[in-house]
Amino acid sequence: MTGEMFEIEGERKKRVCYFFDSDVGGFHYGPGHPMKPTRIRMCHSLVMNYGLYKRMEIFRAKPATKREMTQFHSDEYVDFLSRITPSNMHSFVKEQHKCNVGDDCPVFDGLFDYCAISAGGSMEGAARLSRDKCDIAVNWAGGLHHAKKSEASGFCYVNDIVLGILELLRYHSRVLYIDIDVHHGDGVEEAFYTTDRVMTVSFHKYGEFFPGTGELRDVGIGKGKYYALNFPLRDGINDDSYKSVFEPVIQQVMESYDPAAVVLQCGTDSLAGDKLGCLNLSMRGHANCVKFVKSFNKPLLLLGGGGYTMRNVSRAWAYETGLATGVELGADIPVNEYYEYFGPDYQLDVKSSNTEDMNSPAYLERVKNIVMEHLRNVGGPPSVQMMDIPTLPIDAEMDDMNQDEDLADPDERRPQSLLDRRVQASGELSDSDDEDEGGRRDHASHRDGDSSSSNGRRPHKFGMGVGIMTAGPTHGVGPSGHTTIAPALAPMDVDALPANGEAGGDGADAPAAGAGGGSPKPPLAEELEVSDSRNGR
């Protein structure tokens, strides 16, 4: 029996592609680590048992390859991630220290496979958006916004967001990145700090809080000046206060920047009751951001991120998946394999607490006015020189949408891949006899062998500074590991990437992605977290 769904009146029908790999729930960061990939499988269980699979196409993206990861990350770093395991990690002590792996970002079984699944979903989602095969792409396994060019940070190893944006930039002139995680989206901001092809907007807790970046005065540099916007928040912000700043800022961003595509990082550690967060959003307050961004009818990539109270993470992402498809999920959680996690009330909603809101209306208004002033300096949407779209391996595979059908069992009347691509017509009252709502979760792995899990070994700790898991009320001061040095230029020049069909200014001369960043500035004065994709990548 599926849960209740209610059509949202006046909603324009969207084509939604949803990416899920059943292997992702089998990875484990280690004993006591707050990041638990099982939350993604919990969310998927709600998505399926509410019956949302009838309203969208479901894909299992092909994991990203090492070559695809090196479009942003350094060859040396990607090779290190692919080689290190818990059994050989003591042979890589120097590399671990250099790449900030071993404390917040431990070595665990299947580490590279986990990164490949996360990045694969975001890159394929971006590729489908670019080719107009969907209006919204959803990858809750993505959103790992702290990873740098050659360094892990804040539980993130490979920055799937940057890889997804680079894919979008091959077809779109401008991409807007919005981050509603409690932590600053430092890895994405740093990657595009010197270009106007991407505008990054982050709403986050600031002030003795990981990663220590994202001050109001950090606005980008060179050609990217005023294309990085930060809205620093204090503890305990509630739904009304958040909405009062989020909506006017994003409205002005859309008018001033006019992006061709939008990436929204939906980290749920900004929800009330999160184990590492300190904000006070309800599920509906968090989801309002998704609903508002969706209303602009731009190609939209929805990604996961932080979120460390698993039952709340899965609730919020399932509800937001429903909003993407044009429905509101009913309050009563349907029976599912994680049902006991949602007791004692078994209700979908995540409510705000009575935490005091330290963000006074005067403070929010002052910060909003400064952010709006930065936006006025943009002076209208930048344009980019039109050129041929560079060819990548993903193109051949995306062009042959039925390449995997030859592998389907000829004795199976309707292959699972075909069923997962079906979308139920509006007004259809009954399920078809092919839609077994109870048995669509257990699919064969795309990898040989069992899903990886931690062997329980505690990783070697290097004492490289304060990170995201630091005990105490502030949860961390400054960047995890050590001060980030401005990285070398990335292998792909963002401003040289073509934007199909948009002619204009001389965009090919700006610095490449990956430049910028650096040590955080001093704080401002007090006034101021299925099936194989048969036609996948």
Q: Report pLDDT for 383.
A: 73
pLDDT-based confidence at residue 530 (cuts at 50, 70, 90): very low
- Provide the pLDDT confidence category of residue 2 given band limits of 50, 70 and 90: confident
Residue that is written with structure tokens 């005067």 in the block: 362
**Tokens representing residue 14 in the block:** 């969207």
Q: How far apart are CA 273 and CA 369, in angstroms?
A: 30
Q: Report the percent of the chain where pLDDT is more than 70.
A: 73
- How many C-beta atoms surround the C-beta of residue 254 within 10 A? 16
Does the structure show a pLDDT above 50 at 536? Answer: no
As a whole number of angstroms, the distance between CA 219 and CA 221 comes to 7
Inform me whether the pLDDT recorded for 470 exceeds 70.
Answer: no
Work out the average pLDDT over 299-306.
98
User: What angle, rounded to 10 degrees, do the helices at 38-49 and 310-325 form?
Assistant: 40
Q: What is the mean pLDDT of residues 226-233?
A: 98
- Ramachandran quadrant class, 273 (left: phi over 0; alpha: psi -120 to 50; beta: rest): left
Q: Is the pLDDT reported for residue 129 higher than 60?
A: yes
Is pLDDT at 371 greater than 70 in this prediction?
yes
By mean pLDDT, which of 22-36, 157-171, 206-220, 414-428 is the weakest?
Answer: 414-428
Which class for 412: exposed (0-12), middle (13-18), buried (19 or more C-beta within 10 A)?
exposed
Strand order from edge to edge, sheet including 228-233:
57-59, 16-19, 136-139, 300-303, 261-265, 175-179, 198-205, 228-233
Cα gap 485→477, rounded to integer Å:
17
Residue 420 has pLDDT above 80, yes or no: no
Q: Which residues lie closer than 8 Å to 28 by C-beta, 6 or more apart?
A: 36, 37, 108, 109, 453, 454
Q: Quote the mean pLDDT of the chain.
A: 84
400 pLDDT tier (thresholds 50, 70, 90)? low
Residues with Cβ within 8 Å of 313's Cβ and at least 6 positions away in sequence, in order, are: 39, 42, 43, 268, 271, 307, 529
Q: Which residues are annotated as catalytic?
A: 146
pLDDT of residue 370: 98
Tell me what pLDDT residue 189 has.
98
Would you say 312 and 535 are in contact if contact means Cβ atoms under 8 Å apart? no
pLDDT at 531: 42
Q: What number is the average pLDDT over the span 383-406?
A: 63
Q: Are 395 and 33 in contact (CB under 8 A)?
A: no
Q: What DSSP string runs through 218-278?
A: ----GGGTTSEEEEEE-TT--HHHHHHHHHHHHHHHHHHH--SEEEEE--GGGBTT-SS--
Instruction: Please give the structure tokens belonging to residue 399.
Output: 């062009």
Q: Answer whether residue 161 shows pLDDT above 70.
A: yes
Residues 73-101: pLDDT tens digits?
999 999 999 999 999 999 999 999 999 99
Is residue 443 within 8 Å of residue 22, measured between CB atoms? Answer: yes
Instruction: Please state the rounded mean pLDDT for residues 467-483.
Output: 47
What pLDDT is recorded for position 496? 72
Taking the C-alpha atoms of residue 45 and residue 314, their distance in angstroms, rounded to an integer, is: 9
pLDDT the model gives residue 495: 72
pLDDT tens-digit map of 17-62: 999 999 999 999 999 999 999 999 999 999 999 999 999 999 999 9
The closest alpha carbon to 499, from 120, 133, 174, 136, belongs to: 174
In whole angstroms, how far apart are CA 48 and each of 43, 118, 333, 336, 415? 9, 20, 12, 9, 18
Contacts of 501 (CB under 8 A, 6+ apart): 386
Going by the DSSP 8-state scheme, the letter that residue 532 receives in this structure is -
pLDDT at 393 over 80: no
Question: Residue range 275-284: average pLDDT?
Answer: 98
In the predicted structure, residue 507 carries a pLDDT above the cut 90: no
pLDDT at position 407, please? 59
Structure tokens of 149? 């060019």
Q: Which residues pair with 229 in a beta bridge?
A: 201
Residues 6 or more apart whose CB falls under 8 angstroms from that of 212 comprise: 476, 477, 478, 479, 520
Length of the chain: 537
Instruction: Classify the C-alpha dihedral 355-359-361-365 as positive or negative.
Output: negative
Find the mean pLDDT for residues 137-164: 98
* pLDDT exceeds 70 at position 450: no
Q: Worst-scoring range by mean pLDDT, 34-43, 60-69, 409-418?
A: 409-418
For residue 267, pLDDT beyond 70: yes
| pLDDT band (50, 70, 90) for residue 381 | confident
